[in-house]
């Protein structure tokens, strides 16, 4: 395999008596889509929180492009090139759609996009360059969203909220984007559009990888190149979905058979 983009070694965290993530070893290559599946409460979101510096691991290491980033605070992990979305969407509801994309640039600029966005006048005008770039990113994801860029994010339906969150993640120019259950609350049509969006973003951003927690089996069957199965905090399988789904442990743990 080529040099891994993300490497987890013996990664774990315990909350009191509960080992929520247990000795996870994982290598993700660049330019790759990997889905994470597993039952509710298996530790998938916690794994994301460990990778992105929201939780500090009780054991193990996280490396990005060969650099040890274990224990770095979340904003530094973001600056290193890992962007994410959360299980429940987190947008600045009252701010325009475009500004929500610009907030994603905060991770890689030193000029304080966040402060400038909240301040009228001069600081605001200095953001013109950022606004242009944010506009380009938004447009690449959705012409319709771009057309509505000055409307507040809070009015958007679920599918567009997800799209906007992906645009915001892209604005940080990441190497890796983690999506936590992006298709939740979407119908079939929205889910199909989401898959197409992710594929297009991959094609337009060479080297970019996605790690996606997903419960919709159609999406898991079609979208990723590889699937990781988590159960009781442990990685129990990693491979092509067609192979992984046949493993007895996976059928037991996840498919309920």
Q: How far is the CB of 195 from Mg ion (least distance, A)?
A: 20
Q: How far is the CB of 21 from ligand ADP (least distance, A)?
A: 7
Q: What is the number of other CB atoms lying within 10 angstroms of the CB of residue 186?
A: 18
By CB under 6 A, tell whether 46 contacts ligand ADP.
Answer: yes
| Distance of alpha carbon 161 from alpha carbon 180, whole angstroms | 13
By CB under 6 A, tell whether 174 contacts ligand ADP.
Answer: no
Helix (H), strand (E) at residue 238: strand 234-239
The smaller minimum CB distance to ligand ADP, of residues 20 and 127, is found at 20
The site that binds ligand ADP (CB under 6 A) totals a number of residues, namely 11
By CB under 5 A, tell whether 49 contacts Mg ion.
Answer: no
Contacting residue, 40, 88, 110, 143, with ligand ADP by CB under 6 A: 40
Contacting residue, 45, 89, 100, 172, with Mg ion by CB under 5 A: 45
Q: Which residues make Cβ contacts (< 8 Å) with residue 64, sequence separation at least 6? A: 5, 6, 7, 80, 81, 82, 175, 176
Q: What is the number of other CB atoms lying within 10 angstroms of the CB of residue 103?
A: 19
- The DSSP call for residue 121 is S
Contacting residue, 5, 28, 34, 45, with ligand ADP by CB under 6 A: 45
The smaller minimum CB distance to ligand ADP, of residues 46 and 142, is found at 46
Q: Which residues make Cβ contacts (< 8 Å) with residue 192, sequence separation at least 6? A: none
Which residues bind to Mg ion, rule: CB under 5 A?
45
Binding residues vs ligand ADP (CB under 6 A): 15, 18, 20, 38, 40-46
């Amino acid at each position: 395999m080529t040099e891994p983009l993300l490497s987890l070694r013996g990664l774990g965290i315990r909350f009191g008596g509960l080992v929520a993530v247990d000795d996870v070893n994982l290598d993700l290559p660049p330019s790759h889509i990997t889905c994470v599946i597993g039952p509710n409460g298996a530790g998938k979101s916690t794994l994301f929180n460990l990778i992105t510096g929201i939780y500090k691991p009780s054991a193990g290491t996280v490396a990005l492009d060969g650099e040890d980033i274990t224990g770095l605070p979340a904003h530094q992990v973001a600056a290193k090139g890992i962007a994410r979305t959360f299980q429940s969407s987190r947008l600045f509801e009252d701010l325009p759609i475009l500004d929500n994309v610009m907030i994603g640039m905060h991770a890689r600029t030193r000029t304080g996009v966040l402060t400038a966005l909240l301040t009228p006048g001069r600081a605001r005008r200095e953001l013109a360059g950022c606004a242009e770039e944010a506009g380009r990113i938004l447009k690449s994801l959705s012409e319709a969203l771009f057309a509505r860029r000055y409307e507040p994010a809070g009015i958007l339906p679920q599918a567009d909220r997800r799209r906007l969150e992906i645009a915001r993640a892209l604005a940080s120019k990441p190497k890796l984007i983690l999506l936590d259950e992006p298709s939740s609350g979407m119908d079939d049509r929205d889910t199909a559009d989401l898959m197409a969006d992710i594929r297009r973003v991959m094609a337009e951003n060479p080297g970019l990888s996605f790690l996606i927690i997903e419960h919709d089996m159609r999406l898991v069957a079609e979208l990723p190149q590889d699937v990781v199965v988590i159960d009781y905090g442990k990685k129990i399988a990693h491979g092509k979905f067609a192979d992984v789904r046949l493993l007895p442990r996976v059928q037991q743990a996840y498919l309920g058979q």
